[in-house]
């Protein structure tokens, strides 16, 4: 290149002419110089304009951060910290940066405006083990596989036609529990019933029936409803327990607290149980010539394992064995969540009775169902007041008060603050549901808020569903990662509660009051059991 310039820069006398060289050089280098100046100026500008700051928050200790100061009632403690630092603040828990969101407007930014960025759930070591490596619909990273699992879960397993087809299984188990209360508890005399335990056991039996049978084998051991509930409770406790391995990832291989080891021990029982159920169902299918009469969740999932490719060459509904077991695990956990919901709904009915509203529930059941009939699935949509009692109870006592934590896939600005990629995001639904700017007299128990003929100043009651479409009421989350099991939870909760309330009058012990205190784990639980006395209302079901 230089020889070319020199060749054109000589005159007729072969004398070197410098001017053209400099001109050519200047014109060649000018764009490069201008580009360098522009880049340097841009770099300087970005350095002088600081990025959004991190949210404010309490000062912790070196290495451990705020961890030593955490209480067991996290939802209440986080609400108290919001009053000091605002609706968004940060906490360092070990090496993990956590951001707590405590207002509806900021939750809307996370769950709607930046839904894709926050479309992943923060997966603990325990959750990874419990879900067969994140192969379930809750912790599977957002992407094609998650979309496939959600489609299977929502459109196939929990579709209206699928749930309608399993109504007989639900009805059979609920009626068994109702008769048990009459035959064993009522006839026995004076002992009150632990309503939460009763409802929880009923839901477990229903879920087990929908999975594959009311009793399942795990090796030589038979797992019945009591044992299944014990296992799911143990697993939920392990998942909700603070783990050093999550807060200090570099120490995860040591499993200092032994939580991962204990989780694997529980999962081995579930794995044996699911494996046994799968083999037994395959045997039944083979002996039946490929036909099976029972259509439950296990059968639906087994058919998806054997599903053929679609015409476009994709495996849109084909799942792996690990995914099948992980989905069964999530459905099994629904028994624990629904048990809590029934416990809280029973507490809500207790509060309604305590505040002279209980008669309205009974009157509605008498009017809609009648005293000579049992509650059926088609009655549920007409039980508007009982539905309002359930929603008001879920408002005051959301099952997962901080929701399942999320993490952003990239750094994002929320409420004017920088939320870094990978931070753990808590959404304090418990506090949002009690925000006086969203709810009139938020601490009062008023089911009328959720009735369309309500004169309350709250939003139109018809907008409040369990799918999170109104951000003032999101007991099961909102957005694309909201709880996918809502259709099952809604049916189970209303049907089980309506059946027990229609079959019996429930009374608190003389002088007793509904204890409202809670224990916060992965789900919210009553500190004290709800003990109430049943008195039969119907005779038809005891014949």
529-541 pLDDT, tens digit each: 778 888 888 876 6
- Condensed to tens digits (0 to 9), the pLDDT of residues 257-315 reads 999 999 999 999 999 988 888 888 888 888 776 666 667 888 888 888 865 444 444 55
Same domain (yes/no): 188, 312: yes
Q: 222 with 228: CB under 8 angstroms?
A: no
Check whether residue 44 and residue 76 sit in a common domain.
Answer: no
Sorting pLDDT into bands at 50, 70 and 90, what band is 405? very high
Verify that 122 and 37 share a domain, yes or no: no
For the segment 92-107, the average pLDDT, to the nearest whole number, is 96
Tell me, what CATH number does 258's domain have?
1.10.630.10
256 plus 197 within the same structural domain = yes
Looking at the fold, whether 273 and 142 belong to one and the same domain comes out as yes
Indicate if the pLDDT at residue 186 is higher than 80.
Answer: no
Within-domain flag for 60 = no
Q: Are residues 19 and 86 in the same domain?
A: no
The strand pair at 193-194 and 531-536 is best described as antiparallel
In a domain, 331, yes or no: yes
How confident is the prediction for the chain on average, in pLDDT? 82
Domain count, the chain: 2
Asked, for residue 57, whether it belongs to a domain, the answer is: no
CA distance 397 to 81: 20
Angstrom CA distances, 91 to 42, 56, 69, stand at 33, 9, 11
Evaluate whether residue 53 is within a structural domain. no
Residues 90, 35: Cα–Cα separation, whole Å: 40
Q: Tens digit of pLDDT for each residue in 196-219?
A: 888 888 888 888 888 876 666 666
Mean pLDDT computed over 59-77: 92
Q: For residue 408, which of 399, 396, 417 has the smallest C-alpha distance? A: 417
Partners of 505 in the β-ladder: 535
Other C-beta atoms lying within 10 Å of the C-beta of residue 194: 16
Q: Which residue segment(s) compose the domain that 22 sits in?
A: 2-48
**Residue 517 shares a structural domain with residue 408:** yes
Which residues does 79 contact at the CB level (< 8 Å), separation at least 6?
A: 102, 428, 430, 431
In this prediction, residue 70 carries a pLDDT of: 92
In a domain, 62, yes or no: no
Three-state DSSP at 493 gives helix
Integer Cα distance of 140 and 147 in angstroms: 9
Instruction: For 324-363, give one letter per residue: b (16+ CB within 10 A) or e.
Output: bbbbbbbbbbbbbbbbbbbbbbbbbbbbbbeeebbebbbe
Nearest to 270 by CA among 337, 339, 340, 208: 208
Do 385 and 501 fall into the same domain?
A: yes
User: In the predicted model, is pLDDT for residue 17 greater than 50?
Assistant: no
Taking the model in full, what pTM does it have? Answer: 0.83
- Same domain for 133 and 31, yes or no, is no
| Assigned token pair, 199 | 């409802």
Question: Are residues 494 and 465 in contact, defined by beta-carbon separation less than 8 angstroms?
Answer: no
Enter the DSSP assignment of 289.
Answer: T
Residues 25 and 91 in one domain: no
Same domain, 164 and 309: yes
Picking from 3-7, 248-252, 343-347, which range would have the lowest pLDDT averaged per residue?
A: 3-7
Q: Is 98 annotated as a binding residue?
A: no
Same domain? 110 vs 25: no
Mean pLDDT comparison of 79-88, 200-209, 475-484, 512-521, highest-scoring range: 79-88
What pLDDT digit, counting tens, does each position of 4-16 carry? 333 444 444 444 4
Report yes or no on 345 lying in a domain: yes
């Amino acid at each position: 290149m230089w020889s070319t310039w020199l060749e054109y820069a000589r005159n007729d006398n072969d004398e070197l002419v410098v001017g053209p060289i400099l001109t050519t050089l200047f014109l060649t280098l000018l764009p490069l110089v201008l580009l360098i100046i522009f880049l340097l100026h841009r770099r300087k500008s970005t350095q002088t304009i600081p990025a959004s700051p991190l949210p404010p928050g309490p000062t912790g200790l070196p290495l451990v951060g705020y961890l030593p100061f955490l209480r067991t009632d996290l939802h209440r403690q986080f609400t108290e910290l919001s009053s000091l630092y605002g609706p968004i603040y940060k906490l360092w828990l070990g090496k993990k940066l956590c951001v707590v969101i405590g207002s509806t407007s900021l939750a809307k930014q996370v769950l709607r405006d930046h839904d894709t960025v926050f479309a992943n759930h923060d997966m603990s070591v325990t959750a990874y083990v419990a879900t067969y490596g994140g192969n379930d619909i809750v912790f599977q990273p957002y992407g094609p596989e998650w979309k496939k699992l959600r489609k299977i879960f929502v459109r196939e397993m929990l579709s209206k036609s699928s749930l309608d087809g399993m109504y007989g299984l639900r009805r059979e188990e609920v009626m068994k529990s109702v008769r048990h209360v009459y035959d064993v508890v009522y006839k026995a005399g004076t002992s009150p019933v632990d309503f939460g335990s009763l409802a929880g056991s009923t839901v477990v039996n229903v879920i087990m029936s929908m999975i594959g049978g009311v009793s399942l084998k795990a090796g030589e051991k038979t797992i019945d409803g009591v044992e299944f509930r014990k296992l799911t409770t143990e697993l939920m406790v392990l998942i909700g327990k603070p783990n050093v391995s999550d807060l200090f990832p570099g120490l995860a291989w040591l499993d200092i607290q032994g939580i991962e080891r204990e989780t694997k021990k529980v999962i081995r029982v579930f794995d044996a149980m699911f494996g046994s159920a799968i083999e037994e169902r395959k045997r039944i299918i083979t002996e039946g010539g490929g036909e099976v009469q029972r259509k439950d969740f296990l059968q639906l999932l087994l058919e998806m394992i054997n599903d053929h490719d679609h015409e476009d060459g994709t495996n849109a509904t084909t799942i792996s064995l690990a995914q099948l077991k992980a989905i069964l695990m999530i459905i099994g956990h629904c028994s624990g969540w629904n048990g809590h919901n029934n416990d809280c709904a029973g507490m809500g009915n207790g509060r309604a009775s305590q505040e002279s509203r209980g008669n309205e529930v009974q009157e509605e059941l008498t009017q809609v169902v009648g005293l000579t009939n049992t509650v059926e699935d088609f009655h549920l949509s007409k039980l508007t007041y009982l539905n309002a009692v359930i929603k008001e109870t879920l408002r005051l006592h959301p099952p997962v008060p901080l929701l399942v934590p999320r993490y952003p896939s990239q750094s994002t600005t929320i409420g004017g603050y920088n939320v870094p990629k990978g931070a753990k995001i808590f959404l304090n639904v418990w506090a949002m549901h009690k925000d006086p700017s969203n709810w009139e007299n938020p601490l009062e128990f008023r089911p009328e808020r959720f009735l369309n003929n309500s004169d309350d100043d709250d939003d139109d009651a018809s907008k409040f569903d369990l799918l999170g479409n109104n951000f003032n009421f999101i007991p099961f989350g909102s957005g694309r990662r909201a709880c996918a099991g809502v259709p099952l939870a809604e049916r189970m909760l209303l049907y089980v509660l309506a059946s027990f309330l229609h079959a019996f009058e429930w009374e608190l012990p003389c002088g007793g009051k509904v204890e409202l205190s809670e224990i916060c784990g992965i789900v919210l639980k009553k500190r004290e059991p709800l003990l109430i006395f049943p008195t039969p209302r119907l005779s038809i079901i005891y014949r």
